[in-house]
Amino acid sequence: MAKKQITVRTLISVTIMGASFEPNELLKGSEELLKPLVESDLASSNKADIDYCEKELGVEVFNLNDLTKSETSNDDENGDSSDSENSNQENE
């Protein structure tokens, strides 16, 4: 079963999974990840707050699942490229 996804508005600068976000950014991710931010008053899941950012400020929702996907592909790419660089250095 897929984890429940929620959208929140950041209320202060926060760092999540190594990425920095400023106040009034909209983040979508697992409830497990974002609910503690809401409970700590670092973010809001209030519909009016989210609507304000979308409609008044023109903020687009950033999907935190994209961070997980890009980290996985970057790890694969970095692993491959560093291996080939090391091979080239050994051959010289």
Look at residue 52 and tell me whether its pLDDT is greater than 60: yes
Half-sphere CA count of 5, side-chain side, radius 13 A:
10
- Confidence band for 60, pLDDT divided at 50, 70 and 90: very high
The predicted model gives 7-32 an average pLDDT of 95
- Confidence band for 81, pLDDT divided at 50, 70 and 90: very low
Beta bridge partners of 61: 26
How much of the chain is helix, strand and coil, in % rounded to 5?
50, 25, 25
Look at residue 91 and tell me whether its pLDDT is greater than 70: no
Task: Judge whether 63 and 29 are in contact, CB under 8 Å.
Answer: yes
Task: Judge whether 52 and 8 are in contact, CB under 8 Å.
Answer: no
The predicted model gives 38-61 an average pLDDT of 96
pLDDT at 73: 54
For the segment 28-49, what is each residue's pLDDT rounded down to a tens digit? 999 999 999 999 999 999 999 9
Q: What CA–CA distance (Å, rounded) separates 1 from 50?
A: 26
